[in-house]
Structure 1
Amino acid sequence: MAKKELGYMNNYVYDGFLWGFTVILDLFFREIHPRSSWKVPKQGPVIFVAAPHANQFVDPLILMRVAKKASDRRIHFLIAEKSMKRKFIGFMSGLTGVVPVGRAMDAMKVAQGKIYLPDPVNDPCLIRGDGTNFESREFQVGGTIYLPTVNGTSASAEIAEISGPEELKLKRPFKGGVPMQQLTGRDDMTESGQFIDGAVDKKGPAPGFEGSGFKVAPKLNQNDVYDAVHEALFRGGSIGIFPEGGSHDRTELLPLKAGIAIMALGAVEERHDLNLKIIPVGMNYFHAHKFRSRAVVEFGNPIDVPVDLAKQFKGEGRRDAIGTLLETVRQGLNAVTVQSPDYETLMLIQAVRRLYNPKGKKLPLPTVVELNRRLCQGYERYKHDPRIIDLKGQVMLYNKRLLALNVRDHQVELAKLNVFKALGLLIYRLFKLVALIVVVLPGLMLFGLVFIATKLISIRKAKQALAESSVKIEAKDVMATWKIMVAMAVAPLTYTLWIILFTYWYSQNGIQGYLPEGIPLKLLVLAQAVVFPAVTYGSLRFGEVGMDIFKSLGPLILVLVPGSNNELLKVRKRRVILSERVTEIINTLGPEMFEDFESKRIIKDYITHSPPRTPGGRPKDPSYPTSPTSETRPFSHIPRNESFKDLSNQDFFSTHPSTPKKSRSRTSSMGGFALKAFSTFDQKESLDEVSRKIRGAMRERGRRRSSGGDGWDAGSGASTPTSEFGESLQMTKKTK
């Protein structure tokens, strides 16, 4: 029997697999937004480089779905060989043409003895052992040494030479203060691994230091993997890879592995005319581990792999070529991901983003991601500015106050309500909540066991993953995966149990006489198999509305309590001040940071850009956009889907929003803006004057082109807006 080729894909099986999991993704996620998917080439070899890897097995499914829908591409993903050994995951992954990859971290073992640095200053690559045997089969040139995990991070280094049972050399030294302290036992080093000023006896480890325990991993031969990847690319196929090497729940990207560069450079070196494109993909989630969360998949600009760099890769400059391409990929990923140094900073950025939107304008998810990304970049650049330091402290205090009151930022505006309006709104929402509970209860009974099982098992699996990982913080990256897998197993069993129970109940007394006699049991079973999932889905959607309404009750109760209402009013006043200060600082530093700040402003500055208004306060220009604020729709706009109105705007799958009906009206086709003439000139003399000025400007442009004084390319055949407008005016004159 012939051995199946590595990465073999059956298109029909792939599409069927993807269709089945698309339904599951639509149930787990409330929204999945693709952004800039037009940048993906329809044909030719492509490598999708996706990060951050925040959901262990959900990330590939989402990218598969988006790429298939946007560009009709099927992706061969690289997956850890360890994952393929799990029966269910290995079987399902094998159907989609994955390429299993061995990872050194999966093969590492605790080594005998301890190690230390005898001369950390003059020879930081020299490692000495105590009770070790570096000449055993566990140690190989090209293998890896791992130090114990500290604060969720483990340092590693590659073995370059083995000199004896107790001495070896590293290819590159360990970097950072923590690894240096682990290998020297000294506490007179900086965070970068350098001795502090005034340190004495810098030649060796601390007196009495016995060394550090460590782990070792063998060198892996990945030639078969590279061959499978190159074969897929030569056929014009697509490869998907998560270059961080594994999933994690950090707020910043992990260092990229060299595999992506080796694959790309090797393929182009073998075929110079390959025209390979690397597409950076940002996997941006809002609470990735939670049920009914949101995601934005953003595609970056395609990265070309230069032939000269590929030739350098096969020569003496191999390491430099790999480093150059890796840096290019990293910059591409930075442009499509939101990164912050820690969770606290991420919470700060999100608070500033909300404060920068004082009008409460509803922003699309992709716009929220872009705004978060720009704020993170700006904070990283100006974080030592005294204005930013002071603003950070005030925003963090504001966040703490909201947490103490158990109020969300968008609910602070409720402090403007008087007692009677707050009481009426509270009663109204309570009525809606009671009605929703009645509707949700049947689905909750049907699916309650599934929710409990997914919650408990995902928490247990997260604890196991955290214990085995050196990079995870809380191991939230595995929770969504296990919730989906557990639901896939438990849900059918739960529905089967209910079907058996109701069928038996009907056979005994017709379900207390509510159903007529004589219904065939097969028909009854079939009907239940259709009705139970439908009831569950309906309860799920109404349950979302109910949860959002329930979360909105707290601030209304605070408004009705005199003492608490005063606190809420203070927070609201504080928010107004912070919002003005955030806007002022962003408007000051934004143009310095981004050249396109004004032309691509995400949040309109209504202070400096507000149009003339009528005595009644309405804009004179009807085309000026307005947002659903408390001024135009006082408290009728409930954030997200706290209202029944949201349900009518949803398709069966939440990630496929309903297409609005087409209108024959020109005004509606232009998004509600009134059409205006290009010019207000309506007299022949006016047109003659404009034409004369345009012809003079065009002659001046021709003189500049011939002299090359303005830097334009002489002889360019591209038409300009000015020339096109001049020609249109001439045509207008002729028609007149």
Structure 2
Amino acid sequence: MAKKIGYMNNYVYDAFLWVFSMLVELFFREVHPRSSWKVPKKGPVLFVCAPHANQFVDPLILMRVVKKASDRRIHFLIAEKSMKRRFVGAMAGLAGSVPVGRAMDSTKPGIGKIYLPDPVNDPCLVRGVGTNFESKEFQVGGTISLPTVNNLAANTEIGEIMGPEELRLKRPFKGGVAMQQLTGRDDMTEEGRFIDGAESRKGPAPGFEGINFKIAPKMNQREVYDAVHDVLHQGGSVGIFPEGGSHDRTELLPLKAGVAIMALGTMESKPDCGLKIIPVGMNYFHAHKFRSRAVIEFGNPLEVPMELVEKYSHGGRREAIGTVLEMVRQALVSVTVQTPDYETLMLIQAVRRLYNPKGKKLPLPMVVELNRRLVQGYAKYKDDPRIIDLKKAVQAYNKRLLAVNIRDHQVQYAKKNIFMILWLLIYRTLKLMVLSIFVIPGFTLFAFVFFCGKVISIKKSREALAASSVKIQARDVMATWKLLVAMAIAPITYAFWVTIFTYWCHRNRIQGYVPQWISLKLFALVQCIVFPTITYAALRFGEVGMDIAKSLWPLMKMLSPWSNNELLSLQKRREVLTERVNNIINTLGPEMFPDFDSKRIIADPFSHSPPVSPTGAPKSDTYSFPTSPTSDGTPSKHLPRNESFKDLNNTDFFSTRPSTPKKSRSRHGSAGGFPLKAFSTLDSKDSLDEVSRKIRDGLRERGRRRSSGADGWEMGSGASTPVSEELDGSLQMTKKEK
């Protein structure tokens, strides 16, 4: 009996996840889940994940995070092409993966050439030269693709076959590049719109003979949808990457309709199932590099409105699918960082660093959130002259950093005197030498694995780039092959070293250093434990060593008078840019984000007075706090809000569910450091005033201590009432009751 599609063996799933979680720990320096408490622990869940940066790592990380956060297992949709690989297919099948046929995997060159005979009035009409559209390779619903340009190939579906050399598309090709390919004309914009006067010209350019194309058959996914519906109807969870394939672009690819069909079909056959769609943002920092970092962010659950289900069932299928797709796309935009190109991404990264002038290290979720806000602001104000000028200045600054071969955070060395720089250089060099002693043994053991992983991943990325129409450098393939190579070659490498040392021990007890009472079996077993431990320790020491090694070059340049002047010039330029960036963000930020001041991530370092609200009252931000009257009527600063990095429960940027602070069991107040007697003994107005004064003095002193000694960043929330105001209000109520 054939195994059911989507069948999951829980024991195999957990064992598979446990083994590969160790690889994730090795490959990534940090994987931080954000808002994972939003994942329901029961009921059907459809995880919609993007961007799809890696076909192997993405599902593995999500499986690990979800299992830890909500103890759920996920049935992933996997390319049918990957299932044909013996080991991967067997493990994926036992882990409950559902194979999906992709048109891109069945694409092959078409015979003849095609063009648009009337691109202005009928862009869906396609005519062929030397073609046979009536052959079995061409099907209604099949896909036609054009040659790749700038690593992107336009494609669309066949709507009607009208003859051997004529067919009609369901939708016209998008973009000016595709229109130029199909007409040979250049009188149109990048969006594919004809410029003024060009509409009067009909047909392709004179002498244009058409363009080559590729064809893919229509994919029947009925079995896939049925398997997904069965899993969801049983209260399970399904994971899907709606972009269709992995890529290394900086923006989301168009979403495939499959995710909407799955959600609507599930609700159509079982309206009361309670399906939730969870958007998941896969935010990586150099995903193709070893020891990179990642933030996996979960968005708010989506529910499919019943009116869309009704429309899907009664003739409005296309409109319902389009609406659900747009819902999913908007949800993914809220948990991902997207830029139109790599240059814009580098610009955003540079602005984020300049917006944090004190260089305090933000946690990964804060970095992702700040990047997202900056991208949104840039998209809205990119045509503003102030933004255009700032962009040019920041890009020029980046070019100077590249020319000098230093990083932005290393410009601060220009502030140090020559003796401090010399001492720092000597100290870090000695530290690097000591770390190297611990790194060399592990590097020697694992060098062959690193070498093979590097060579094979580059080769596979080139092959993937040649076969893909969406990849830029195929970096998404590198991480997969580095992990797969490590899985295959690391055991062989360790076995080789264990054999070598065991034979050496057998010959002469390693020059007599191994006692005779240690058997060869015990010696081999000890090696199987020690060698991976040495490798992992070398890995951790190597991370620190690489960071130190990268800092030596700027220090050496500072010892040269010529380079010193260059760094001083860069440091001054950075100060000017920092002030410009902060001024523009503080000006435009409140226009785009109404809660900008109360929810700011990084305080304004150039502000020395609290911002004022529209009512004239001072508003709280990170460094400026509202005031409350003292007993004599004069304003005084009270306790800063407890929103520091050390108090993570009060922030909404982390993965744990916001919890209600527990009431203290102590009978002593912590604010002022003095015992607070029971209110029943306060039998006069003077006693109440004395307690109020002591509380305010204690809070004021505590605020001064925090302001002078706080190291971490702080973030105003705009959602809490100042502590002193709450206490004053309580005392006033007590007075009235008294």
Q: TM-score range by the shorter chain?
A: 0.7 to 0.9
1:448 has 2:442 as partner = no
Per-residue CA deviations over 1:377-425 (Å, capped at 9, x if unaligned) read 1001100000000000100111111111111111111111111111111
CA contact (8 A) 1:361 1:627 kept: no
* Residue number in structure 2 paired with 1:148: 147
Alignment of 1:475-554 (within 5 A): 475-554=474-553
Shift of 1:479: 0.5
* Residue number in structure 2 paired with 1:587: 586
* Residue number in structure 1 paired with 2:31: 32
Shift of 1:606: 3.4
CA contact (8 A) 2:641 2:722 kept: no
CA contact (8 A) 2:32 2:296 kept: yes
* Residue number in structure 2 paired with 1:695: none
1:576 has 2:575 as partner = yes
Aligned to 2:512, the other structure's residue is in SS state coil
Aligned counterparts of 1:360 and 1:439: Cα–Cα separation in 2: 30
Structure 1 residues 501 and 721: alpha-carbon distance in aligned structure 2, compared to 1, 3 A threshold: closer
Per-residue CA deviations over 1:658-695 (Å, capped at 9, x if unaligned) read xxxxxx9999xx9x9988999xx989659999xxxxxx
Aligned counterparts of 2:316 and 2:324: Cα–Cα separation in 1: 12
* Residue number in structure 2 paired with 1:191: 190
Q: Which moved more, 1:353-362 or 1:720-729?
A: 720-729
Aligned counterparts of 1:103 and 1:627: Cα–Cα separation in 2: 49
* Residue number in structure 2 paired with 1:343: 342
Per-residue CA deviations over 1:680-734 (Å, capped at 9, x if unaligned) read x989659999xxxxxxxxxxxxxxxxxxxxxxxxxxxxxx999999996698469
**What is the letter of the counterpart of residue 224 of structure 1?**
E
Per-residue CA deviations over 1:25-78 (Å, capped at 9, x if unaligned) read 001100000000111111110000000001121000000000111111100000
* Residue number in structure 2 paired with 1:420: 419
Aligned to 1:324, the other structure's residue is in SS state helix
Shift of 1:208: 1.3
Aligned counterparts of 1:164 and 1:673: Cα–Cα separation in 2: 85
1:562 has 2:566 as partner = no
Aligned counterparts of 1:293 and 1:209: Cα–Cα separation in 2: 49
Per-residue CA deviations over 1:162-194 (Å, capped at 9, x if unaligned) read 111111111111121111111111122222222
CA contact (8 A) 1:623 1:674 kept: no
Aligned to 1:33, the other structure's residue is in SS state strand
CA contact (8 A) 1:558 1:564 kept: yes
**What is the letter of the counterpart of residue 91 of structure 1?**
A
Work out the percentage of aligned pairs sharing the same amino acid: 69
* Residue number in structure 2 paired with 1:98: 97
Structure 1 residues 444 and 325: alpha-carbon distance in aligned structure 2, compared to 1, 3 A threshold: same
Shift of 1:157: 1.4
Aligned counterparts of 2:216 and 2:57: Cα–Cα separation in 1: 28
CA contact (8 A) 2:688 2:731 kept: no
Structure 1 residues 269 and 726: alpha-carbon distance in aligned structure 2, compared to 1, 3 A threshold: farther
1:89 has 2:61 as partner = no
* Residue number in structure 2 paired with 1:363: 362
Aligned counterparts of 2:546 and 2:266: Cα–Cα separation in 1: 52
Shift of 1:362: 1.6
Aligned to 1:512, the other structure's residue is in SS state helix
Q: Which moved more, 1:466-475 or 1:127-136?
A: 127-136
Aligned to 2:198, the other structure's residue is in SS state coil
**What is the letter of the counterpart of residue 334 of structure 2?**
A
Structure 1 residues 175 and 497: alpha-carbon distance in aligned structure 2, compared to 1, 3 A threshold: same
Aligned to 1:169, the other structure's residue is in SS state strand
Aligned counterparts of 2:284 and 2:276: Cα–Cα separation in 1: 25
* Residue number in structure 2 paired with 1:316: 315
Structure 1 residues 620 and 327: alpha-carbon distance in aligned structure 2, compared to 1, 3 A threshold: closer
Per-residue CA deviations over 1:282-307 (Å, capped at 9, x if unaligned) read 00000000000000000001011111
CA contact (8 A) 1:622 1:674 kept: no
Structure 1 residues 118 and 721: alpha-carbon distance in aligned structure 2, compared to 1, 3 A threshold: same
Aligned counterparts of 1:149 and 1:339: Cα–Cα separation in 2: 23
When the two chains are superposed, the root-mean-square deviation of aligned CA atoms in Å is 3.0
* Residue number in structure 1 paired with 2:613: none
Aligned counterparts of 1:258 and 1:248: Cα–Cα separation in 2: 18
Shift of 1:88: 2.0
CA contact (8 A) 1:162 1:168 kept: yes
* Residue number in structure 1 paired with 2:204: 205
**What is the letter of the counterpart of residue 375 of structure 1?**
L
Aligned to 1:522, the other structure's residue is in SS state helix
Aligned to 1:378, the other structure's residue is in SS state helix
CA contact (8 A) 1:340 1:376 kept: yes
Alignment of 1:381-392 (within 5 A): 381-392=380-391
1:131 has 2:139 as partner = no
1:409 has 2:414 as partner = no
Aligned counterparts of 1:165 and 1:91: Cα–Cα separation in 2: 43
CA contact (8 A) 1:362 1:627 kept: no
Give unpaired runs (5+ residues) of structure 1: 613-618, 629-655, 657-663, 690-719
**What is the letter of the counterpart of residue 327 of structure 2?**
T
Aligned to 1:301, the other structure's residue is in SS state coil
Aligned counterparts of 2:46 and 2:14: Cα–Cα separation in 1: 20
Shift of 1:559: 1.4
Shift of 1:195: 2.2
Structure 1 residues 434 and 620: alpha-carbon distance in aligned structure 2, compared to 1, 3 A threshold: farther
Aligned counterparts of 2:594 and 2:673: Cα–Cα separation in 1: 30
Shift of 1:517: 2.5
Aligned to 2:326, the other structure's residue is in SS state helix
Alignment of 1:711-726 (within 5 A): none
* Residue number in structure 2 paired with 1:257: 256
* Residue number in structure 2 paired with 1:109: 108
* Residue number in structure 1 paired with 2:393: 394
**What is the letter of the counterpart of residue 569 of structure 2?**
K
Aligned counterparts of 1:395 and 1:232: Cα–Cα separation in 2: 51
Aligned counterparts of 2:175 and 2:687: Cα–Cα separation in 1: 71
Aligned counterparts of 1:243 and 1:5: Cα–Cα separation in 2: 23
**What is the letter of the counterpart of residue 209 of structure 1?**
F
CA contact (8 A) 2:120 2:199 kept: no
**What is the letter of the counterpart of residue 116 of structure 2?**
L
**What is the letter of the counterpart of residue 66 of structure 1?**
V
**What is the letter of the counterpart of residue 299 of structure 2?**
G
Aligned to 2:185, the other structure's residue is in SS state coil
CA contact (8 A) 2:75 2:237 kept: yes
Aligned length: 662
**What is the letter of the counterpart of residue 443 of structure 1?**
G
CA contact (8 A) 2:439 2:538 kept: yes
Q: TM-score, normalised by structure 2?
A: 0.85
Give unpaired runs (5+ residues) of structure 2: 611-622, 626-635, 646-654, 656-662, 690-720
**What is the letter of the counterpart of residue 156 of structure 2?**
A
**What is the letter of the counterpart of residue 605 of structure 1?**
D
Q: Which moved more, 1:333-342 or 1:404-413?
A: 404-413
Per-residue CA deviations over 1:326-373 (Å, capped at 9, x if unaligned) read 001000000000000110110000000000001122200000000000
**What is the letter of the counterpart of residue 278 of structure 1?**
I
Per-residue CA deviations over 1:572-594 (Å, capped at 9, x if unaligned) read 11111110110000000001111
Aligned to 1:168, the other structure's residue is in SS state strand
CA contact (8 A) 2:579 2:606 kept: no
Structure 1 residues 191 and 675: alpha-carbon distance in aligned structure 2, compared to 1, 3 A threshold: farther
Aligned counterparts of 1:415 and 1:244: Cα–Cα separation in 2: 46
CA contact (8 A) 1:252 1:342 kept: yes
Aligned counterparts of 1:125 and 1:673: Cα–Cα separation in 2: 73
* Residue number in structure 2 paired with 1:157: 156
1:118 has 2:93 as partner = no
CA contact (8 A) 1:39 1:300 kept: yes
Per-residue CA deviations over 1:595-650 (Å, capped at 9, x if unaligned) read 121111000123335569xxxxxx9988689999xxxxxxxxxxxxxxxxxxxxxx
Structure 1 residues 724 and 363: alpha-carbon distance in aligned structure 2, compared to 1, 3 A threshold: closer
Aligned to 2:510, the other structure's residue is in SS state coil
